Structure 1
Amino acid sequence: MNDNSILENRSCGDIDNFKTNVYVPTYITVFIFGFIENVFCIYVFLRLYKKKTAFSVVMVNLAISDLLFVCTLPWRVHYYYYATRYWHLPHYFCKFLTYALYLNMYCGIYFLTLMSILRYFAVVHPIKGLKYRRVKNVQIICIAIWIFVGLTAIPFLAIGNNKSQCFEVRDRIVNMDIKIIFTMNLISLVLGFIIPFFIFMVCYILVIRTLLTSKANHLKQTTSRRKASARIIGVMVIFITGFPIYHIVRTIYIAELFPAGNTFNVSCLVWKTAVAASCRAIMNPCLDPILYYFAAETFRDKVRSTIKNAFKGIPTPIQQT
């Protein structure tokens, strides 16, 4: 299923206006803030980190993935802004933009899961886990994630659109196509979401338990551990409110679409919920930098020092007497 596979339906006649009103401001906002935030993050990781760490390697890969995706959003804005919904550009470019969405989404899920695994070894098994947190090993894993997600997302290029449209699914899908869509959703649901989500949750729950139950030598250390636990809970909330909702709604949509492959069978409520859920998933390039800030103390220090140095050269206005 395409993230925006919601055609105008006889029972939901205002869906086109709804999509325009929701997608266009969301895409514009995500493009502006996502571009600025991720360019800044990549600058911090590549220029200000004197020594590479396992966390910085994962975070820079996630920032690159987010940046590449937000650069595709202007074409989505252009398409949904005009009521005619006519795609003037080459058909293969439309397929690439759809592919870019899933590449970013599932790379993001895997990179965030990898961060949770690294945090687990750093907190729960700080000595035993050193060999798993070596920079070279993490770099190899990141490359493997790019290759794995890049290859497994290729079938999304096969989802058919009318060549005059983009980000849409035909009114009636042939039997073979609906079987492909059903199978793709099942595979991506298990490999791209359920398994990584389970690992993500287990790792962070164990990290929080270790932080809250381990003995602290003094009050300052206890306070620091509580703050770290609060930050991790914040990371978990951002993750949980995005990807699970999107995958649940997408699965419901396909369940209503299958087996007839007729989009007229999809209820208006499911369509509009799918629009909102896809928008929330697309917001992640803006939210991921917040995760870096919460999850990595070194990153917070670099950001604070960069902002402080930027304002240091600004002259203070002289008060008049």
Structure 2
Amino acid sequence: MNSSNSSDCSETADFQIYLLPITYCLVMVFGLLGNLGALYFFFFKMEQKSPSSAFVVSLAVADTIFLCALPFRIHYHLNGNDWRFGDVMCRITGTVFFGNIYISIAFMTCICLDRYIATIHPHTYLQLRNTRWALMVTVAVWVVTGTATLTFMMTCPLATDGSDGDQQDAISCFENFSHEAWRSSLMPYSAISLVFGALLPSLVILVCYPLVARRIARIKTATAKSALRIIYAILAITVLCFLPYHVVHLLHLLWRTNVINNCTAADVIYKIRRVTMALVSLNSLLDPVLYYFATGRCKWSFRWNLDWLKLKKTKTVYTVSDHYRTAGGEGDLLASVIMPKNDQ
């Protein structure tokens, strides 16, 4: 969420009228293709599904809902940050937009923990594969995040008078909140979302994945090298999309609570925040890459000819004993639960 200082400072970011609509349009078009394509493969083409598939499918569903709400945000910014769809649609689309950030982080954290257990505790992971733990965790994440977002949507003032620039009679959606609104409800929600929705999950991702990478780096197989590339890709998505947004969101919260009260700093924070909003939306565009890596069940190879873009799927099977050599000797389990082997 964004806002301008209640009285003393005036923040502008004229470039947002071009940056956000262009970014959102690209994310919407290519993100829908990637996420809908991924859902199609999950439900109709993937013969073998792992417990972690529930996390990946949920992430794709959340991204698809987010992408369907983007046209309203695109119109809003093209219209000079003037909302014309009423209070109800502001609540729905705005909550979907910002709620998707924390839903995505939650399921990426679940995928991270799943890979951590598979790598560091492979015997435990093989036992968990035969239970419904992933489904229960998935339901719990949807219930908790859904309850939080619905509560926020029903109780907070989301459409307000006054927008950026010279349009004093414009209607803002999810920004330009009054000082009273911040003190009464927005500050507690922002603080809770930062701690439980961003800080703790980010620590899990940034701590678990390096541990997994260190373990996998000792394995001298092509499968392990592929899994290592997966880890680096997920870390890159996290650092690119989520960390900048939440660092600036923390500064934004400090400004709104008068910890930062310099107008020059406030204007810089406002401008950078607009850039991070564009960056965080890229998550839904990049997530299909994560689906491809996280499932490990399907190998998609893209072949271009003059008339068609063909999608080829090769079957994969799990091996119970995939021998590998580490610095400490022979092993026969870890690689088989990190990545399945391709059946040539």
Give the structure-2-normalised TM-score.
0.78
1:239 maps to which residue? 238
Q: Give the drift of 1:229.
A: 1.2
Q: Which residue of 2 aligns with 1:97?
A: 93
For the 8 Å contact 1:53–1:135, the answer to whether it is kept is: no
Q: Which amino acid aligns with 2:227?
A: A
Partner of 1:146: 142
Larger strand proportion of the pair: 2
* Partner-residue secondary structure (3-state), 1:166: strand
Q: 1:52 aligns to what SS in structure 2?
A: coil
* Aligned positions of 1:245-260 closer than 5 A: 245-259=244-258
Matches within 5 A, 1:66-215: 66-83=63-80, 85-134=81-130, 136-157=132-153, 158-162=156-160, 165-170=171-176, 172-174=178-180, 177-214=182-219
- 1:270 aligned to 2:269? yes
| Deviation for aligned residue 1:5 | 3.5
Distance 1:312 1:283, change over 3 A: closer
Measured after TM superposition, the shift of residue 200 of structure 1 is: 1.7
Mapped to 1, the partners of 2:277 and 2:230 lie a distance apart of 25
Amino acid at match of 2:269: V
- Whole-angstrom distance in 2 between the partners of 1:252 and 1:187: 15
Deviations 1:107-162 (A, max 9, x none): 11111111111111222211122233446221121111111011122343214432
1:55 and 2:52 correspond: yes
Higher RCO structure, 1 or 2 (CA under 8 Å, sep 6+): 1
Q: Contact (CA 8 Å) 1:5, 1:167: kept in 2 or not?
A: no
Asked whether the 8 Å contact 2:160–2:176 carries over to 1, the reply is: yes
Does the Cα contact within 8 Å between 2:49 and 2:297 map onto a contact in 1?
no
- Give the 3-state SS of the residue equivalent to 1:252 in structure 2: helix
Sort the Cα spacing of 1:237 and 1:48 in 2 relative to 1 into closer, same or farther, 3 A.
same
Specify the code of the residue in structure 1 equivalent to 2:176. R
Q: Which has the higher helix share?
A: 1
Inter-partner Cα distance in structure 2 for 1:160 and 1:78: 17
Q: Does 1:46 align with 2:43?
A: yes
2:132 match: secondary structure: helix
Is the 1:172–1:262 contact (alpha carbons within 8 Å) kept by the matching residues of 2? no
Residue-by-residue CA offset, 1:18-66 (whole Å, 9 max, x unaligned): 2211111011111101111100000011001113212322111100000
**CA positional deviation for 1:249:** 0.3
**Retained in 2: the 8 A contact 1:120–1:204?**
yes
User: Is the Cα contact below 8 Å between 2:6 and 2:179 reproduced in 1?
Assistant: no
State how far apart, in whole Å, the 1-side matches of 2:281 and 2:217 are: 33
The alignment partner of 2:159 has SS state of coil
For residues 265 and 187 of structure 1, do their structure 2 counterparts lie closer, same or farther at Cα, with a shift above 3 Å needed? Answer: farther
CA RMSD between the two structures? 3.0
Which residue identity lines up with residue 227 of structure 1 in the other structure? S
For structure 1, which runs of at least 5 residues remain unmatched after alignment?
Answer: 314-321
- Given candidates 10, 28, 31, the residue that maps to 1:31 is 28
Corresponding residue of 1:285: 284
TM-score normalised by structure 1 residue count: 0.83
* Gaps in structure 2 of 5+ consecutive residues: 162-169, 313-344
Query: Which digits, 9 at most, give the CA deviation of each residue in 1:234-256, with x for residues without a partner?
Result: 21111122212111101101211
Aligned partners of 1:142, 1:105: CA distance in 2, in Å?
16
After TM superposition, the structure 1 stretch with the greater mean CA deviation from structure 2, 4-13 or 97-106, is: 4-13
Secondary structure, counterpart of 2:278 in structure 1: helix
Cα deviation code 1:170-218 (max 9, x no counterpart): 36421x532422211211111101111122222212211211235x4xx
Partner of 1:318: none
> Aligned letter for 2:267?
C
Measure the CA separation in 2 of the matches of 1:35 and 1:14: 31
Q: CA separation of 1:259/1:160 partners in 2, compared to 1, >3 Å: closer, same or farther? A: farther
SS at match of 2:160: coil
Question: Does the 8 A contact of 1:103 with 1:153 survive in 2?
Answer: yes
CA distance in 1, matches of 2:99, 2:11: 32
Work out the CA distance in 1 between the residues paired with 2:286 and 2:262. 32
Moved more, 39-48 or 240-249: 240-249
1:59–1:244 CA distance, 2 compared to 1 (3 A): same
State the Cα deviation string for residues 66-122 of structure 1 (Å, max 9, x = none): 000000000111111123x43222201101111112321111111111111111122
Classify the secondary structure of the residue corresponding to 2:146.
helix
